[in-house]
Structure 1
Amino acid sequence: MRRQAVSPSCQQLGRPRSGAASRRGVLSSAAAVLLLAAGQRPSFATLIPDAPVVGDCPECIGEVNETLNACPLDAPSCISTLSDDEEHFAAPWQFDGTREEAIEQLISIATGARFDMGLIDSFGGVRQTDAAAYIAKGVLAVVSGGDMPEQPKRQRKSSTEFVPFDGDVTERRTTPGGAEYVRIVLGTGGGGATQASNLSEVIDCEFLFLPDDNIVDVRASSRVQPEGKLGSGGQLALSITEGLVLDKNVAGRQVERLRKALRWDVAPVLTDFNPAFNAEAPVWFERLFDPFNRRNKFQPSGLAYPAEGEGEERPLRLPARE
């Protein structure tokens, strides 16, 4: 059951207010009107919904039989190492050192500790202006026969750009099979807060550290799915099968940011939807230049897709959860 904000009663609304309080109310209303006129929404804190139920279902959270749940196919802001479609799949993570050290590092950074932000995002750490100048000078050197310019140096992100994570650890336990299960809720502001301004950023992040291994299974899902428009949870991204798409996966982007903050690697996984490992899965430019090809109907997640030969359809058989 979701908690709802309690609206003030008619009696409360009718109470006389002081002149200062009245002026504050008028100014707040005027600011909200200006924001709406500019196409922006005023930020209001809203009560955070209760966590999903614990169980064995795509909408549930929790460790079940030494695994995590997959994502609902209709939930745009969810990723899981147990999902098998491109939109929701996330490869497991790999860490160095002991499992106990990895868990402590995860909890420390996810709850607000500082971390090395690494190189800037553009051109492998090279600023766009520096890269453009290097290319221009290089072309000039080739044409004139002069010396090649010195390669631009990679730049690290400034400390002023640091944005800490605001997670709360809500569960940590050892499973019967010896795995370590950790659940951290991001987006609450930390400290067990009960309100948030953007509910799609309130994310239940689950981590299952496998026994005698350096692999971590991951699942993350927003408690409230985003609208998906640009600026309200949606961002432009490139899909290997669909081309330029509107990425609505707020949870996926946030846990990927957490993985980079931890400096952990992605474990290599062969996926059915990846054209690099499955000749039946078309890449986006094949769909574009050959739109009537049967392979364009390819659908992962256990749905049938055209087979080679006579155009027969064969189902994908997925392993059942134990």
Structure 2
Amino acid sequence: MSAGHSHGQVRAGHEKKLLMALGLTTGFMIAEVIGAWITGSLALLSDAAHMFTDSAALAISLMAFQIAKRPADRNRTFGYARFEILASAFNAILLFLVALYILYEAYQRLFNPSAIQSTGMLIVAVLGLVVNLISMRLLGAASGESLNVKGAYLEVWSDMLGSIGVIVAAIVIRYTGWAWVDSLVAAAIGLWVLPRTWTLLRESMNVLLEGVPNGIDLDKVEQAILSVTGVQAVHDLHVWSVTSGKNVMSVHVVISQSSMDGQSILASITALVTEQFEIGHCTIQLEHDGFHDDDHSADDHHEDGHLHHS
């Protein structure tokens, strides 16, 4: 089985899980909006708003997977894989704005509390928790393999915490009558979500800005290349990601004049960085000692790493 085929199967599995989570989340989001309207609970509305962003995030993630399947062409030589990262960035921004809105509404409600039907609020919140737990189980494993899925997972994860908060608020309001607890829980949900949303946005922006992928130390990559027999120096080393799990490297490698077997060195470097750093696409330029930028001779060799993951 080829690496590309295996990667395609993994993505297909991600899509199936996203679709199942989307059906669960959207269906309950509608019920939760109705419940928030009936009970008058801001905490429940906050949870419903997060459910809405969950549905949007899951739908966008599914669309991103479909677009990312499109093959590379002359205009987009890496294909459309990066659309997944654009989707994760959009999801992060959307959730960030929703969290800010909920914080604002919670602040307003502290001064103008409204009557809340705690029993209905509790029932809806418990059902929401069940839906969130199912969705989290569906997306949990895949969240470590794709930033796109991770964004959707964080949305559902924050909703799970929100549902727990709403359940606590409903119980407190039922037995104490403290309506302000509803606003307090809504604000707590917003504050809990913001830093995690920022982390997702930062990771997405790092990919879009072609930064070094998380978990890869550029100095260690350089030292690994230098450890290959025949390699004298390394320069113009670049490592970045096209999308989650698709790392790319380009580098100029200086070899000694006595190293005549350039293909062997290329193969060794490619195998080393693929195994140690999960870099599946390598472009390596070999240069002999004394090579100058203005003296391109037959000693200048190019090799495009043959290990592609699409």
Q: What's the TM-score, normalizing by structure 2?
A: 0.22
Q: Which has more strand, going by share of residues?
A: 1
Structure 1 length-normalised TM: 0.22
